[in-house]
Structure 1
Amino acid sequence: MTTKQISHSKNKLWMAAIKPPMYSVAIMPIWIGTAIAFAEKKILNTTVFLTFLVAAILILAWENLSNDVFDSETGIDKNKHHSLVNLTGKKSLIFWLANLCLVIGLLGILAIATWQQDPTVIIMVLVACSLGYMYQGPPFRLGYQGLGEILCFFAFGPLLVPAVYYSQTQTWSVASFAASVIVGIVTSLILFCSHFHQVKDDIAAGKRSPIVRLGTANGAKVLVWFTASIYPLSLLLVILGIFPVWTLLSWLSLPFAFKLCRHVQENHNYPDKVSNCKFIAVAIHFWSCLFLGVGFFIG
């Protein structure tokens, strides 16, 4: 292998470790909560929006970095070449870098709470961070019991989206809680898809992920219902008058939903082929949430 090929391979590993597409998971709840606040109250505080956005990205960086550290301790990542701990060989450095991201992110949320003289937002974000820690952090490691998707749903959905709405309005909204359910589902979908290609490693490390429990074939069937659920739900919320009709623009993500379900059903038991399914799930998350927010702005 030439030096150029080795360099290209390392660059790919670093990009896989940093996971740039995954940061839409942090961005979209901020986008939707802000969009609903603007639609309902005609309020758009750009300072609060940008502060929350940067803080959310930093907190997600903490989540990703600390998960690499915690997974390195259980041995589940021994075959994961794009783990930052494996790439650098410096677990302590990654751990303290993760904590630095968390502290700076929380300082941003604390700044919002201070500006508003109201602790509500920082309390909700701290609860979400606690769920994120319990996912992989000792002594909880609830992700190893197959509870990761539930924790993910609440952390990025019903906790984060209403918190963002509150940061703009200091009030609550039925629409923000309803939208948070959709955001929570599509975020958990990404995590659900990440298990299909690592069943052997999960079993070896004692991790009872949903796919380990269900098997890849049944998991592929559950995935179809899981993915499809957001579309009739958004339609129902429009019919009930909770969402404006323009939020049905989120259905433009349907081609990615069909692609994901077909891809996983055909390749669920082929780890090398199915390993990219989480990135298709990221595309569903990004486009459905983007257009959902656009629908609120237009509506």
Structure 2
Amino acid sequence: MKEEKSLLKSWLEAARPKTLPASLSPVLLACALAWSDGVFRLIPAILCFGVALLAQIASNFANDYFDFKKGADKEDRLGPERAVAQGWITPKAMLKATFITLGFSCLCGCLLLFFAGWELIPVGIAIALCVLAYSAGPFPLAYNGLGDVCVVLFYGVIPVCFTYYVQAQSFSLLSFLLSLSLGLLSTNILVVNNYRDYVQDKAARKRTTIVLFGRGFGRIFYLLNGLVAILLAIPLLFEAPTWILFLFAGFFALFFVTWRELYRFDGKELNKTLGHTARNVLIFTLLLCVLLLL
């Protein structure tokens, strides 16, 4: 029997609040870097948070709707329950909410034009298209092994580099390196999700990288993403105080323990690993912010 929920609680769960730090972390990191460089500006920073947060909520709504339409969300789903599949929200309402939320994200992006130039327009269009193309259209990215690339770009490179850009009016090599670092670590959230759903995704013809290359690849991919993410941050550690080095060592230990869960857990147990991976992204972001603000 499907659980009944209040309308408010249904919409809150459809927004997937536990995933939202993944979109807020890159903006927070870019703001810390801008502050460190003496170019931080409050209003553009707030607007960037708005773009990132609303775009991810819109993406979550779209994913809920289109996965239901494509038959990817069934009764044997192992991940958190989906609002449309469970009947808490109608497909029509979810699709409408997707475009409304995306519209508000675009509005925040348009307001950013007052602080930067027209060059932000293609970036905004790319974000809007990816929100929809991730799970919709004739060539949905998540169904064709491109989800991981999207995460690196839209949860790493683009939000970090352009949040920094609208404040500094320039790019920096450090912002790019840190954007890659955070993007790779955030990709592991998707890796765990697809690792858990391997059987269901294969049956639904959802060709994630795990479906294409197997679970063994997924475990190696997760480890490499984390190691490269940490290596890219090493230049910041050269002159860091000892206590920061101990904190980063603690983070590496935490990352390693989380990675080993891929060998120990299966099925719904991997939802714990999903939560731990998202937690690790936030901790890593906060460590980098502390390091930049010292």
Could you state the TM-score of these two structures normalised by the residue count of structure 1? 0.86
Matches of 2:93 and 2:4, distance apart in 1: 23
Secondary structure class of the residue paired with 2:170: coil
Please state how far the C-alpha of 1:287 moved relative to its aligned partner.
0.5
| 1:295 aligned onto 2:291 | yes
Q: Specify the alignment match of 2:256 in structure 1.
A: 258
Aligned residue pairs, count: 286
Q: Specify the alignment match of 1:204 in structure 2.
A: 203
Please state how far the C-alpha of 1:217 moved relative to its aligned partner.
3.3
Using the aligned pairs only, state the percent identity: 21
Letter in 1 for 2:124: V
Unaligned runs of 5+ in 2: none
Aligned positions of 1:264-275 closer than 5 A: 264-267=262-265, 270-275=266-271
What's the CA shift string for 1:127-147, capped at 9, x where partnerless? 233233322121121211111
Q: Specify the alignment match of 1:26 in structure 2.
A: 23
Q: Specify the alignment match of 2:59 in structure 1.
A: 63
8 A contact 1:217–1:265 mirrored in 2 = no
What's the CA shift string for 1:92-144, capped at 9, x where partnerless? 1011111111111110111111x225123343232233233322121121211
Please state how far the C-alpha of 1:158 moved relative to its aligned partner.
1.6
Q: Specify the alignment match of 1:168 in structure 2.
A: 167
Matches of 1:193 and 1:237, distance apart in 2: 28
Q: Specify the alignment match of 1:245 in structure 2.
A: 240
Q: Which has the higher contact order (CA 8 A, sep 6+)?
A: 2
| 1:46 aligned onto 2:45 | no
Secondary structure class of the residue paired with 2:72: coil
Q: Specify the alignment match of 1:92 in structure 2.
A: 92
Letter in 1 for 2:220: K
Classify 1:63/1:14 alpha carbon distance in 2 versus 1 (closer, same or farther; 3 Å): closer
Computed over aligned residues only, the root mean square deviation of the Cα atoms, in angstroms, reads 2.6
| 1:158 aligned onto 2:157 | yes
8 A contact 1:125–1:163 mirrored in 2 = no
Letter in 2 for 1:245: A
8 A contact 2:152–2:186 mirrored in 1 = yes
Letter in 2 for 1:93: A
Letter in 2 for 1:162: C
Secondary structure class of the residue paired with 2:20: helix
Q: Specify the alignment match of 1:147 in structure 2.
A: 146
Aligned positions of 1:115-194 closer than 5 A: 115-116=114-115, 118-194=117-193
Matches of 2:11 and 2:48, distance apart in 1: 27
Matches of 2:283 and 2:158, distance apart in 1: 21
Matches of 1:126 and 1:133, distance apart in 2: 11
What's the CA shift string for 1:39-84, capped at 9, x where partnerless? 12x1221122122212211111000001111111110012347112
Matches of 2:90 and 2:224, distance apart in 1: 41
8 A contact 2:14–2:61 mirrored in 1 = no
Classify 1:122/1:36 alpha carbon distance in 2 versus 1 (closer, same or farther; 3 Å): farther
Q: Specify the alignment match of 2:275 in structure 1.
A: 279
What's the CA shift string for 1:250-291, capped at 9, x where partnerless? 554324312211111222xx2122233211110111000111
Matches of 2:192 and 2:111, distance apart in 1: 35
Please state how far the C-alpha of 1:91 moved relative to its aligned partner.
0.5
Letter in 1 for 2:48: F
Q: Specify the alignment match of 2:215 in structure 1.
A: 216
8 A contact 1:45–1:168 mirrored in 2 = yes
What's the CA shift string for 1:186-231, capped at 9, x where partnerless? 1111111101221121011101112222322342233222222222
Deviates more, 1:144-153 or 1:118-127: 118-127
Please state how far the C-alpha of 1:238 moved relative to its aligned partner.
4.6
| 1:101 aligned onto 2:101 | yes
Could you state the TM-score of these two structures normalised by the residue count of structure 2? 0.87
Matches of 1:13 and 1:93, distance apart in 2: 12
Secondary structure class of the residue paired with 1:136: coil
